[in-house]
Amino acid sequence: MSSASAAAEAPVAQSFRLGDVPLSCGQVIPEAQLSYVALGRANPERSNLILVPTSYGARPADLAWMLGPIFDPERWLVVIAGMFGNGASSSPSHGAMGLAEQGWVVHHRDNVLAQQRLLAQVFGVERPALIYGWSMGAQQAYQWAVQAPEMVERICCVCGTARTSPHNRLFLLSLRQALTADRHWNGSGFDAPPEQGLRTYGLIYASWAASQPFFRTIGQPVEQHVEEQWLPHYRRHDPRDLIAMLDTWLAHDVAAGGDLDAALAGIQARTAVVAADHDLYFTVEDMAADAARIPGAELHVLRSRLGHRAGNPHSSAPEQRELRRIVDGLLAA
């Protein structure tokens, strides 16, 4: 399959029906569904599947750009799976889920169990060649490797950690507070679009997701930049879904409150940990500490002014080339 034909297929998302899915929080999603995009073809041995879990706010088609720049479209079947709460898979906006205020918190172990069923039942694969994730996708890759070590051959964790740090929690709580402080918040949702809450949310998000060097390069006031370049992405989401994904991020901990050293020491997968030198969410120091806990893990550092977004460089060739080099090396091992 050529890169052009793969790109043409990218927007085609499918839905995997899971039935009623019990969550680790005690709630049950009735008639749950998982949205996914599949690009490429399985080989006869079904040994060439790469799973890409989605990041915060992303839907599967948003990440299809990676086939070509990051993954060789002639070699790999790339399955991009949307996590619960993202608006494409089962989410509060579908009416089947509530928020933490009603006792609903999706954990990544719930996402992993659903993804395991997707790969086994739709693609006949139990052990993917690679699980590759950026940001919240990296969190899910770590969760796979800890939760089902015998089922994971390789992981590539880009700009994400195995446990949400205290400083990262502050960022997430500020985003949640920005939305729920809006006058239209009613305790379980919104009576009208939370325009003021979204603007505050957008300003906070942009200030963390890009770096100080990046903002020195823009040629417009930062308020205008956020209004034009950031807010449209958030406005496409139901704000309840934005909150649900924040709660999953807040709850993320592969050790479930226990011994992180022991949890990561149990990983059997060949592991690449990829930090970005200007990432304000997941610092090089934090990611290096995770890598040091994983047997044989290799740490790589992207040099980029894009900040956290260096790990999702859909329009920046230098970072794409570096990620391709890392992935090719990992897959060749």
- Catalytic positions are 135, 279, 308
What is the full DSSP assignment across 236-273? TS-HHHHHHHHHHHHH-BTTTTS-HHHHHHT--SEEEE
At 179, the amino acid letter reads: L
Closest CA to 275 of 263, 265, 283: 283
Q: Are 234 and 205 in contact (CB under 8 A)?
A: yes
Burial of 89 (0-12, 13-18, 19+ CB in 10 A): buried
Which element (helix H / strand E) includes 30? strand 28-39
Centroid of chain to Cα 186? 28
User: Alpha-carbon distance 310 to 306, whole Å?
Assistant: 5
Q: Are 89 and 83 in contact (CB under 8 A)?
A: yes
User: Alpha-carbon distance 216 to 94, whole Å?
Assistant: 40
CB atoms within 10 A of CB 72: 16
User: Alpha-carbon distance 295 to 266, whole Å?
Assistant: 8
User: Alpha-carbon distance 103 to 41, whole Å?
Assistant: 40
Q: Check residue 144 and report its DSSP letter.
A: H
